[in-house]
Amino acid sequence: MTPRRRTLRIGRTAAWTYLVAVLFVTIFPFYWILRTALSDNYALSANPASILPVGFTWGPFQRVLGLATTEQSIAEGGSGASISLGHYLVNSIVYASVSTGLIVFFSTLAAYAFARLHWRGRDFMFSLFLTALMVPGILTLLPNFVLVKELGLLNTYAGLILPGALFSAFNIFFLRQFMLGLSTEIEEAALLDGAGKLRVLFGITLPMTSGPIVTLSILGFIGMWNDYFWPLLATSDDSVQPLTLALAVFKQSSPQAQPDWAGLMAATLVAALPMLVLFMAFGKRIVNSIGFSGIK
């Protein structure tokens, strides 16, 4: 074996070792959530190093889903107060899916106007929209809170959803770029046949743009599902609060001396589960979307 081949082999071994280490650190916490969520708190503190669940029980899940009695939850080291993540889950689903649906739809309409229609002021409006990319959330969030409060929309789905459901500079830019790259032949043929612009938009352009629309929907849904700061400002009533807030409150209200770690991990798993399901279903697409959005 030549020295060069040998260094190459050592290099490959080192690279694989590194990759396995990175993968381990990445994935281990997910396993640890599951392992802890199936454990009994008292057994946990007696045997914290066990790789497998200790004192196996479904109790933590029953606790966070509001299915456990107070005595039962105290017996397993819960705080006694059982929370019911079920309706927060519904709130999260409403918040994430309605917001994502609206923002992608409205962005598609605007992108079509910028990519295909000829109108005075088009270039100016487009540049104006792009300036919004420069403004960070922190600058608009507080005034938006004041606005939503003045509109009387605090603690409503409308107040939670509206500020992020109408306008996204990134989405419009992304879709417009894609539409500009599409061939206009089919659209022109349809127009010659007497179809109106709206029909062309919904019948031809929209289906041809379905790839990036799905991409933006997935990325948007992930972002909204995980959103914490805006719901924290806009909601204080648990009838509209999403899961992220419920989890944070549960974490903070957990007693400092003896937190209900098993219950917390069960709640964490419930909060993360939809994303994990999304990942199972669209993993490859998500990976490609992220790479794609970065290159653009």
- Contact in structure between 254 and 260 (CB atoms under 8 Å): yes
Cβ of residue 79: shortest distance to another protein, in angstroms? 15
Helices (H), 117-151: 122-131, 137-150
For the record, the structure tokens of 282 come out as 């669209």
* Shortest distance in whole angstroms from residue 216 CB to another protein: 14
Stretch that binds another protein, among 60-68, 71-79, 93-101, 196-204 (CB under 8 A): 196-204
Q: Give the x-and-dash track for 130-149 against another protein (CB under 8 A).
A: x-xxxxxxxxxxxxx-xx-x
Minimum CB separation of residue 73 from another protein in Å reads 18
- Footprint (CB under 8 A) of another protein, residues 268-287: 268, 271-272, 275-276, 278-279, 283-284, 286-287
Contact between residue 225 and residue 274 where contact means Cβ atoms under 8 Å apart = yes
Give the residue, chosen from 45, 70, 210, 239, that forms a contact with another protein under the rule CB under 8 A. 45
Select the residue interacting with another protein from 159, 164, 212, 263 (CB under 8 A).
Answer: 164
d(CA 100, CA 217): 6
Q: Which two three-digit tokens encode residue 171?
A: 């989405």
Structure tokens at 56: 């196996």
What's the min distance (Å) between Cβ of 69 and another protein?
25
How far, in Å, are 115, 127, 130, 173, 286 from residue 123 at the CA level?
10, 6, 11, 12, 32
Size of the site for another protein (CB under 8 A): 104
Looking at residues 56 to 85 of the shown chain, list those that interact with another protein (rule: CB under 8 A): none
Q: Which stretch binds another protein (CB under 8 A): 64-72, 79-87, 152-160, 190-198?
A: 190-198
**Residue 202 in contact with another protein, rule: CB under 8 A:** no
Task: Determine, following the binding rule CB under 8 A, whether residue 10 of this chain makes contact with another protein.
Answer: no
User: How many other CB atoms are found less than 10 A from the CB of residue 164?
Assistant: 20
When the beta carbons of 86 and 283 are compared against another protein, the nearer one is: 283
Q: Residue 179's closest CA among 198, 201, 196?
A: 201
Residues belonging to the chain: 296
Return the residues of window 90-129 that contact another protein according to CB under 8 A: 106-107, 109-110, 112-114, 117-120, 122, 125-129
Give a three-class secondary structure readout of 186-217: HHHHHHHCCCCHHHHHHHHHHHHCHHHHHHHH
2 binds another protein (CB under 8 A): no
Minimum distance of another protein from residue 105's CB (angstroms): 8
Confirm or reject binding of residue 295 to another protein (CB under 8 A). Answer: yes
Can you say how many angstroms the Cα of residue 265 is from the centroid of all Cα atoms in its chain?
Answer: 19
Residue 65 bridge partners (DSSP):
84
- Angle, helices 85-116 vs 261-295, to 10°: value is 10
Does 264 sit near another protein (CB under 8 A)? Answer: yes
Site string for another protein, 203-242 (x = CB under 8 A): -------------------x--xxxxx---x---------
